[in-house]
Structure 1
Amino acid sequence: MDDVIATIRSVQPQLIVVIAALLVALVATIAVNRTTVADQGTRKLTHATVWVVAVTAVIVAVNLMLTGPLSSMITMATGTRYELSQKTIETTNDLAVDIEREGITLLQNNDNMLPLADTDAINVFGWASTNPVYGGTGSGALSDAYDTTSLLDGLHMSGFKTNDRLTDFYTDYATTRGDDTITSTDWTLPEPPASDYSDDLISDAQDFSDTAMVVISRVGGEGSDLPDDMNATDHTFDDDSNNPKAATYTDNSTEYKDFPEGSHYLELSQSERDMIDLVTAHFDDVVLAYNGANTFELGFVEQYPQIKSVLWAPHPGQAGFAALGEVLRGTTNPSGKTADTFVRDLTQTPSYENFGDFPYDNVSEFTVDTTRGKRTPAFVNYVEGIYVGYRFYETAAEEGAIDYNATVQYPFGYGLSYTTFNQNMGEVTYDEETGTIGFDVTVTNTGEVTGKDVIEAYVNPPYTDGDIEKASANLVAFEKTDEIKPGASQTVHIEFDDDDMASYDYRDAKAYVLEGGDYGVSIRSDSHSVIDEQTVVVPQTIVYDSENNTHDGDQTVATNVFDEAAGDVTYLSRANRFANYDQATAAPTDFSMSDDAKATFVNLSNSDPSQSDNPDDQMPTTNADNGLRLVDLRGVDYDDKQWDLLLDQLNFDEMDDLIADAGYQNAAIRSIGKIRLSDVDGPAALKDNFTGVSSIGLPANIVVACTWNKNLARAYGETIGDMAHEINVSGWYAPSVNIHRSAFGGRNFEYFSEDPLLTGELAAEQVVGAKSRGVYSFTKHFALNEQETRRNSQLCTWANEQSIREIYLKPFETIVKASGDAQALMGSFNYIGSIYSSAHSGLNETVLRDEWGFKGFLETDYFSGALYGYQDADQLIRNGTDAMLASTETTNHIDSKSATSLIAMRRAAHNILYTTVNSWRYENGEPEQSMPVWQIVLVGADATLGVLLAGLEILAVRRFMKRRQAAIR
């Protein structure tokens, strides 16, 4: 809807001209008709001329619309439609099943109920069994152009028979769960009331099989976070449709509410609980399958001894459900590990009270009145600091601040197998000269089934009470074994650098610090269960604060950039056994923006980029005749002087078009042989929003994270790259690497994990895989975009520098340093502190380019400046952003032609061109480019209409003259 409204706004001037021209012509016609004119010839000539002029004005206005604001959109919509080959379809589907095979996670298996090797028939209960979740909504939605393997199909493929009467019972009840879009979500769970199950249906099920399977699913998607209160009343702060509203859903019975007061979406509904009561009353062997990306309150399974096995089967894409049948049958041994911590009560997590909707109450000067209503700035406080997910639970348990078993049900990194493994940790070595820490782990299959295991290495750093915040468990490395046969072993080498154990001290050193002392290096079966541990002694404290001693290979010293973003928030501290927990994690009570924040807050109401003009800037060269073509610079170093010569050839309009019209493409520049390239949505597929062409949807990134398998992640990126070649795509809007700060995050399906290392390592493999095929990836959303609520309503995100660097930026840093040059990033909608992320020079220049050495281009998230009220292209390019993800004309063009603006435009053009020329489209020389078909048709239509209108006017004049001559005679 945002793009529809933006499109209408962009052509508003031309529409006004069209309406005005028609109204004037109509009024003139009526006026002439009402005027007594004895000469009918004059009246007819006046009529004809008025309408010829009016139609000419309409044609000119329409031409201005088509060749101006709508040009990019029409070019994309009328582009050639490409299709995947059958071979690629089959290969991709095979990979999807491989990923789901290793992503399905066995959480419980009492009495070794699974695998069901001797059972051929299963009663599958739960409405979700007939309508499971395959992927998320919004940009993560899957295409309906390809066949989809249903959950029941997946069971049938492994030889299981399912109860058709149950299936019919559910499909007769409902076939859809509700309308899910970016701006609206129906959270209805159409689970039939237990009273609807007839005695005959249950009796028939008992006759069909002794085994029952219950399926519970939850959906999530772009634009909405999952409701943490299913009975919340509608908010009244403003009428912006992207702000949270009451959780819309329909109860399944008039006898009870599906979600009683105080209920949230990630617990059982009353209908689901009643159904489970019914199933467990009639079946002693029950397996529960949870099909959702967000961690769920699964504590209820302990109340039912009949539920012997629990499987987590997140979004499988279009083919992945084949793996579920294999896991149940035992032809696949599950090897998935949780990518998040499953807690018993999600309302007691550190972030719970500080995730959601918190509008400021004193920002009338920044409240913007847009087409979609008022946009009131809001805020979110990342009060937990570095203690995200397992980092909090493990540290709090060590400090005695929580009862771990009463709090955590399934730890991070947890997952069972049909076999057993023994991991033997070799001697840990520390080479102080190179900073390398390494050791071997020998994994032996001590069971009776072939399987894979995951080696998880953690570091427990020395901690001084009240000093630099440190978690007691920090994932530092991981590897997945190959398949190991019973009795066989595999030795895997684990290696990492000592600066991977450093912490960021934002208060005193204002740098990364590796404190001297004893570091516990352990291997664990999950974040809580230590298999073995050894000590690495760091003899003295190392502060990474000089150009000869930077952290993790940074090109410049990492020092404080985000002091302002900390705000006035009280952050959770480990000091005195988390003594400030209640204070730090309490819900906000102060809804006023501080004066300091107001001083740096910028939106369209007060934006004036010219204030940052540097009077010493010299106007750069434009329109030079240096004879270079873009293809000449393929493979040429980013800093080579030839780039200056090429950039000298560009003019203002060419650079402006390249920067402004980067939504789902990047524009052509004919003078240098730059063709239009197609950049499309992800993250689980390639989706062209204009031609409608899409690739097959792979499993969501939460599944990739649960595999803990770098090889599969690499294959994921390679397959995306292969499909990109076949559908003529150059850029992929993925991977998405924001952190699972809260279980209620709407886009947790497309993000990987609560852990930055697991996220960064796997996402980097995807990026490198795509790059090997010449496809550049837009890693997103840069940065701190962990919630959908008010995401594009001027959301101020407050976090301290340590958490920003150690948690939220770490995946981006890992990817940039692993993938090398010529890639891309996508910004986020939110503000960091009081500065819009895409206008944050500290983030986009100091950190991204200066520290990490990023050479590529940075694009905004969807650009709709006038609609959102805060995006200004001139401001953004001056602060490190290069391209506007705009498909219509709004505030995405550069108004200023000052030297400062042109220098920024030149830098942005350099970054965009450097990435695009190194894509696969230029690997065989300069691609051919021709005028889009619609433009050829437009020229023909204009010429035809011009001739026709001229002919009509000539005809009218001739008839007028003929009548005049006849009257004279």
Structure 2
Amino acid sequence: MDHSEYRRLVQQYRAEAKQRFADLRARRRERRGKPVAERLEARRAERAEVKAWRAEVKAAEPRRERRARRKGFKAFRRRQHRWIKLTALGVVVALIASVLGSWYHTATRPATEDQAAAREHSLGVADQVMAEGLVLLRNEEDVLPLADREVSVFGVSAATPVFGGGGAGGISSVGAQSLFAALEEAGVDYDRAVRDLYGNYADNGEATTEPYEEPEAGVVDELLPSLKGFFVTSPTEMPVEHLSDAVLSDAREHSDTAVYAVGRAGMEGRDFTPEDLRLTEDERATLEALDATFEHVVVLVNSANAMELGFLEEYESVDAALWIGGPGETGMNAVARALTGEVNPSGRLTDTYAYDIDTHPAVLNTGDFEYTDDGGEPVGRYFTHHLEGIYAGYRYYETFVPEEEYEDVVQYPFGHGLSYTEFEWSDAEFDTDEHTVSARVDVTNTGDAPGREVVQVYYDAPYADGGIEKPATVLGGYAKSDQLAPGETQTVTVAFDTAAMASYDDRDAQAWVLDEGDYGIRLARDVHDTVDSATHAQPERVVIDTDPATGAEITNRFDDARGDLAYLSRGNPDETFPTAPTEDDLRMPDGLLEDDYALEADPDASAPVTGADHGLELADLKGAPMEDPRWQDFLDQLTEDELVALSGNGGYWSVGIERLGVPETTMYDGPASIRDFIGHWTTVAFPTPVVLASTWNDELALEVGRSMGAEAQSYGVDAVYGPSLDLHRSPLGGRNFEYFSEDPLLTARIGAQYVSGLQSQGTVAVIKHFAGNVQETNRAAMGLYVWTTEQAWRELHLRPFEAAVKDGGAHGAMTAFNRVGTTWAGGSEALLTDVLRGEWGFEGFVITDAGIVGQGAHFDARQAVEAGNDMILGLLVDLPGAGSYEQELADYLEQDRAGTLTALRESAHHILFYVLQTNRI
């Protein structure tokens, strides 16, 4: 074969490769909207075809023929992977340009007057949150506050505290106040050698008492502060052999009191194991050394997740423990002031602390569980069984643990918290009728220090075997007293609707039911410490099948999310107690893949009007309700491309349409701090949300929202991805730092106030993750299948979101990666249209979680907009040209123009209504 023939073959095979690639793209476009199982089978066939082609190329003879064929095959491969390279290059270029541009515009100029004023106010509010959120767990012999101001501080967690959590809900730790700086500011003299030892070890791994200086922020920290704190790990304790007898002896001479910090860091994408939340061998060995050396040891629990704290009772010298959660940017100041007594802790636990984490009924079903096919092969689909049903957290312990065993099982009950002073409760009065339950009590500070008390009210609903599942007790309401001086008395009142004691009957009534019978009403210091009680006699059974706020029908929406499973029952606990998934449980249920989205076009449907000219601009609709007929005229003006862009080009913005007066809006991650992820600025890093909830102070949550909303406005931010309203299903949740509590009422009230405060400033709250994102493991791997009862969805997981909509007025929501049964939450019409908008009356836009960096392979843009999920969060930066979800929607337009345009038009309505709630217009 001469050279000219060889070149002719190369051109021929390259042309064939080009045609093969064109045919491949055409086939893939045709497959959009078909069932996932069919698409996966087609992809496997394509891979087999390419593999056979490659083998054919390798076997070709003679050598020049083989080389010519190989060049054709390589040309195909280059075309096949070109989009990946171009996208990667575009992302890199855009990131670099965005970073440099942000640095140029912000790093070289001081904060504006508005930014400085908003920051100053937020710092004060953040300090109050920390001061009121600290929980005094233990205080034997009144070791706290410190008798003098001399201590020795031990632990790597003291040198490098866990200021927040990791991931989107984390904070920037650049400039965060260290514990030692806070102690100095509070006038506490600490042993310098111990501080140097732990500082050097934490910083560079060298256990030396050479003088240690806090490292200054580096260039990267200054330029990209949001990265500092995005990736976090729990501090690794220094081996005790580095803690020499000489160091301990000198520290004992300095003070007879040691402070020891223990820290655990939660992070997006990663859950804990029970072992992670127990003391390590090095931590235990350190405590043994301190116990043998010091008269008093004070433990700081620097963890948002409920650790096993039985060790606090194992060592004679461990007299006191203070839970500090994640203190944020300046929270260590309040910690130091609490040690001296300037701050009197008034926080209460938002979770149950058991001696053994494995006693939590959800633990066995938290983790990595992958379905297999009939042959036992993994299929790439993951699940979790919420077999505990409604009995999560204290609802389980108060219902199923016998009284005589309770103190051996539960160390610190939900709502527990001590004070430096004493409070006497007297003259309790109860008033109940068909509408309201009210409890009043006089709270008197009988101690020597000013302080605040939390009054909690629980209800015990009547239960009958075989009836609706009900916990033994449920939080009904709470209130926090003012700061009371010694001898001062305040009458504290807690009231809630009688109907709030109803249970959801997902079997018979398929509605909320307030059963006939006696309801115990308890005034309590925590869930297990009753001060006084009364009875509400409910004369008759009441079925609530219509939403009192919206008038919408209430009925079962998630029967298919129950699965063929047995859930924990109060009437039969021995046979229904949760167990870990068995081999049978791992086998994929029949028809599971068939439930994935498939396009069903209506051939008789007509497409809505596009591109009309009615002379309207968006500002003309400012203040107009969603049902205003002018909306339809305005929506008629949108073109197909504009409709596709509004839904498909979502990231940390909504796109603008200049010709119609639609401004672009910006959205950033929250909820503890608002951050330009790849930029120079961050707002004040508040203590983690679990600390805010630990204040049990609704008014303070409102003020946090206002403060963050004002800071957002000073930086031109229109919406914040937060608050996060999922629950602490168990102590293992990687994002428990970002969520408020194991209890839905406490989460609902704190969350609704946060939303209300944020939006009072014109900053829209995007409540997340709707709903059921209570496990990080496998959540984004084709959508974690979450199986539980409708009752559990209603009473636990949905209740905080309902309050955020009805009481907080939220105008934004972010859907979860996980599935509700077999249906992706972001594509669930039952969740987004029937419940969120239909039952609750939500008005605003819904966006997906971040379908980027390998996440969201199960997202389908048409499924999303059809279900009521208006926007896809698909990009970190606004790249030129269409994103993948824009292209997907454009492809759907070709397959079903009428149906796709109808869904996109409704999504545009929601998105543009949100835009009008901001200060952009």
Report the CA distance shift for 1:134/1:719 in structure 2 as closer, same or farther (over 3 A).
same
Report the CA distance shift for 1:316/1:629 in structure 2 as closer, same or farther (over 3 A).
same
Q: Is 1:585 equivalent to 2:579 in the alignment?
A: yes
Q: How does 1:668-747 map to 2 (within 5 A)?
A: 668-747=656-735
- 2:272 counterpart (226, 251, 257): 226
Partner residue of 1:639? 627
Deviates more, 1:185-194 or 1:800-809: 185-194
Q: Is 1:100 equivalent to 2:130 in the alignment?
A: yes
Contact 1:860 1:881 in 2 (8 A): yes
Task: Kindly state the Cα deviation for residue 426 of structure 1 after the two structures are TM-superposed.
Answer: 3.9
Contact 2:164 2:229 in 1 (8 A): no
Q: Name the aligned partner's letter for residue 285 of structure 1.
A: H
Distance in 2 (CA, whole Å) between partners of 1:481 and 1:226 is: 35
Deviates more, 1:325-334 or 1:856-865: 856-865
Q: Deviations over 1:426-467 (max 9, x none)?
A: 4322342xx222232321112221110111111100000121
Task: Kindly state the Cα deviation for residue 477 of structure 1 after the two structures are TM-superposed.
Answer: 0.8
Distance in 2 (CA, whole Å) between partners of 1:769 and 1:364 is: 54
Q: Is 1:544 equivalent to 2:544 in the alignment?
A: yes
- 2:352 counterpart (328, 341, 344): 341
Task: Kindly state the Cα deviation for residue 363 of structure 1 after the two structures are TM-superposed.
Answer: 8.7
Contact 1:106 1:311 in 2 (8 A): yes
Deviates more, 1:786-795 or 1:692-701: 692-701
Q: Name the aligned partner's letter for residue 182 of structure 2.
A: G
Contact 1:123 1:205 in 2 (8 A): yes
CA RMSD of aligned residues (A): 2.9
Report the CA distance shift for 1:682/1:365 in structure 2 as closer, same or farther (over 3 A).
farther
Aligned partner of residue 901 in structure 2, secondary structure: helix
Q: How many pairs align?
A: 804
Partner residue of 1:281? 292
Q: Is 1:597 equivalent to 2:592 in the alignment?
A: yes
Distance in 1 (CA, whole Å) between partners of 2:605 and 2:427 is: 60
Distance in 2 (CA, whole Å) between partners of 1:69 and 1:559 is: 46
Q: Name the aligned partner's letter for residue 800 of structure 2.
A: P
Q: Deviations over 1:51-97 (max 9, x none)?
A: xxxxxx9xx99999799999997996656649463333322222111
- 1:798 counterpart (747, 763, 787): 787
Q: Name the aligned partner's letter for residue 503 of structure 2.
A: S
Distance in 1 (CA, whole Å) between partners of 2:374 and 2:847 is: 28
Report the CA distance shift for 1:390/1:856 in structure 2 as closer, same or farther (over 3 A).
same
Q: How does 1:904-915 map to 2 (within 5 A)?
A: 904-915=903-914
List runs of 5+ in structure 1 lacking aligned partners.
1-12, 14-56, 229-263, 368-374, 923-969
Q: Deviations over 1:471-508 (max 9, x none)?
A: 11101111111111111111122221111000001111
Q: How does 1:234-249 map to 2 (within 5 A)?
A: none
Aligned partner of residue 459 in structure 2, secondary structure: strand
Aligned partner of residue 463 in structure 1, secondary structure: coil
Report the CA distance shift for 1:407/1:150 in structure 2 as closer, same or farther (over 3 A).
same
Q: How does 1:772-791 map to 2 (within 5 A)?
A: 772-791=760-779
Q: Is 1:608 equivalent to 2:594 in the alignment?
A: no
Aligned partner of residue 766 in structure 1, secondary structure: helix
Q: How does 1:476-555 map to 2 (within 5 A)?
A: 476-545=476-545, 550-555=546-551
Partner residue of 2:418? 416
Distance in 1 (CA, whole Å) between partners of 2:88 and 2:523 is: 61
Partner residue of 1:87? 117
Q: Is 1:324 equivalent to 2:332 in the alignment?
A: no
Distance in 2 (CA, whole Å) between partners of 1:112 and 1:625 is: 75
Q: Is 1:563 equivalent to 2:559 in the alignment?
A: yes
Q: Is 1:652 equivalent to 2:613 in the alignment?
A: no
Task: Kindly state the Cα deviation for residue 401 of structure 1 after the two structures are TM-superposed.
Answer: 8.3
Contact 1:184 1:224 in 2 (8 A): no
Q: Is 1:753 equivalent to 2:753 in the alignment?
A: no
Task: Kindly state the Cα deviation for residue 304 of structure 1 after the two structures are TM-superposed.
Answer: 1.0
Partner residue of 1:955? none
Contact 1:572 1:585 in 2 (8 A): no
Report the CA distance shift for 1:97/1:177 in structure 2 as closer, same or farther (over 3 A).
farther
Q: Deviations over 1:726-775 (max 9, x none)?
A: 11100000001111011111000000000000001001111000110000
Partner residue of 1:311? 322
Runs of 4+ in 1 over 6 A off after TM superposition: 60-76, 176-186, 363-367
Task: Kindly state the Cα deviation for residue 310 of structure 1 after the two structures are TM-superposed.
Answer: 0.7
Aligned partner of residue 201 in structure 1, secondary structure: helix
Distance in 2 (CA, whole Å) between partners of 1:376 and 1:63 is: 26
Task: Kindly state the Cα deviation for residue 144 of structure 1 after the two structures are TM-superposed.
Answer: 5.0
Q: Name the aligned partner's letter for residue 808 of structure 1.
A: H
Distance in 1 (CA, whole Å) between partners of 2:273 and 2:444 is: 44
Q: How does 1:857-896 map to 2 (within 5 A)?
A: 857-864=845-852, 868-887=856-875, 889-892=883-886, 893-894=888-889, 895-896=891-892
Partner residue of 2:394? 390
Q: Name the aligned partner's letter for residue 376 of structure 1.
A: G
Distance in 1 (CA, whole Å) between partners of 2:171 and 2:86 is: 35
Aligned partner of residue 580 in structure 1, secondary structure: helix
Contact 2:171 2:229 in 1 (8 A): no
Task: Kindly state the Cα deviation for residue 565 of structure 1 after the two structures are TM-superposed.
Answer: 0.3
- 1:359 counterpart (352, 370, 391): 370
Distance in 2 (CA, whole Å) between partners of 1:572 and 1:184 is: 38
TM-score computed with the length of structure 2 as normaliser: 0.83
Report the CA distance shift for 1:815/1:74 in structure 2 as closer, same or farther (over 3 A).
farther
Q: Deviations over 1:327-365 (max 9, x none)?
A: 111111110100001000001210111001000012999
Partner residue of 2:281? 270
Report the CA distance shift for 1:467/1:63 in structure 2 as closer, same or farther (over 3 A).
closer
TM-score computed with the length of structure 1 as normaliser: 0.79
Q: Deviations over 1:901-923 (max 9, x none)?
A: 1111011011011011121222x
- 2:380 counterpart (376, 384, 391): 376
Report the CA distance shift for 1:379/1:184 in structure 2 as closer, same or farther (over 3 A).
farther
Q: Name the aligned partner's letter for residue 164 of structure 1.
A: R
- 1:114 counterpart (140, 144, 157): 144
Task: Kindly state the Cα deviation for residue 585 of structure 1 after the two structures are TM-superposed.
Answer: 3.3
Aligned partner of residue 884 in structure 1, secondary structure: coil
Report the CA distance shift for 1:269/1:652 in structure 2 as closer, same or farther (over 3 A).
same
Aligned partner of residue 586 in structure 2, secondary structure: coil
Contact 1:177 1:190 in 2 (8 A): no
Aligned partner of residue 148 in structure 2, secondary structure: coil
Partner residue of 2:312? 301
Aligned partner of residue 575 in structure 1, secondary structure: coil
Q: Name the aligned partner's letter for residue 476 of structure 2.
A: V
Task: Kindly state the Cα deviation for residue 592 of structure 1 after the two structures are TM-superposed.
Answer: 1.4
Q: Deviations over 1:399-421 (max 9, x none)?
A: x3881111100000000001111
Q: Deviations over 1:656-705 (max 9, x none)?
A: 11111121111111121111111001111111223343212111101001
Q: How does 1:424-439 map to 2 (within 5 A)?
A: 424=426, 426-432=428-434, 435-439=435-439
Q: Deviations over 1:386-409 (max 9, x none)?
A: 001001111113xx3881111100
Distance in 1 (CA, whole Å) between partners of 2:85 and 2:716 is: 28
Distance in 2 (CA, whole Å) between partners of 1:752 and 1:866 is: 28
Contact 1:100 1:699 in 2 (8 A): yes
Distance in 2 (CA, whole Å) between partners of 1:873 and 1:785 is: 20
Partner residue of 1:142? 171
Deviates more, 1:807-816 or 1:881-890: 881-890
Aligned partner of residue 729 in structure 2, secondary structure: coil
List runs of 5+ in structure 2 lacking aligned partners.
1-24, 26-78, 207-220
Aligned partner of residue 567 in structure 1, secondary structure: coil
Aligned partner of residue 773 in structure 2, secondary structure: coil
Contact 1:99 1:712 in 2 (8 A): yes
Task: Kindly state the Cα deviation for residue 184 of structure 1 after the two structures are TM-superposed.
Answer: 11
Report the CA distance shift for 1:171/1:425 in structure 2 as closer, same or farther (over 3 A).
same
Q: Deviations over 1:512-538 (max 9, x none)?
A: 100011011111100001111110111
Identity of aligned residues (%): 38
- 1:216 counterpart (259, 262, 272): 262
